Amino acid sequence: MKLTVAAKLAFTALVISAIFWLGSIYIRGFLANELFSMETLTVRENLPVGVRGELFLLLAKSSVAILAWYAAVFVSGTLFLIASRLRFKEHGWLLMSAILFYIFLPVEVYTGLIDLRFINAVFNGASQEICQALFVKHFTALAGAPIVGLLSYFTIVILAIWQPLKKSNHYSMGSG
């Protein structure tokens, strides 16, 4: 089945927004690595207050990007599923990808709400202790489910490339 123009546009938007969304997640991870001591969620003692404040500002800006790009991935992915008219029965990889993405929607909404509180605190000049507590809450929320979600998103990329469980109309050499 050929994809419609709407499906191709939705898929293009999905790929572009997914690249920026996953990239924004890694930027936030690198910034958090600069803020916290190795393998702990305590702020490094040797950071000057000004540097710490700037890191919180950059973390808030990256969180804004993550939320915006996640919304774009959600909308374009849903539009692609509707516009493509691909049947899950014939495209098992698409079914697995959709399940992996949508099953973590509640996790993303919950952590997104925490991120919104963090963004609001940073941009409204809250104390660094409040900003730190909200940022740490994002990482400790739901006992690591956001990390499992991130791993599932990279699994979706692999599924989209390899497309396992895709039914083919071609016969194998042995049948016939």
Residue 41's pLDDT is 81
Residue 170's pLDDT is 55
- pLDDT per residue as tens, the chain (176 positions): 789 999 999 999 999 999 999 999 999 999 999 998 877 888 888 999 999 999 999 999 999 999 999 999 999 999 999 999 999 999 999 999 999 999 999 999 999 999 999 999 999 999 999 999 999 999 888 988 999 999 999 999 999 999 998 887 654 444 44
Q: Which two tokens stand for residue 176?
A: 């016939």
Would you call 15 exposed, middle or buried from its count of C-beta atoms within 10 A (0-12, 13-18, 19+)? middle
Cα–Cα distance measured from residue 103 to residue 87, given in angstroms and rounded to the nearest whole number: 19
Q: Which two tokens stand for residue 47?
A: 């950071």
Maximum CA extent, the chain? 74
Cα–Cα distance measured from residue 110 to residue 166, given in angstroms and rounded to the nearest whole number: 34
Instruction: Give all strands (DSSP E) within the chain, no chain letters.
Output: none
Spans of all domains in the chain = 5-162
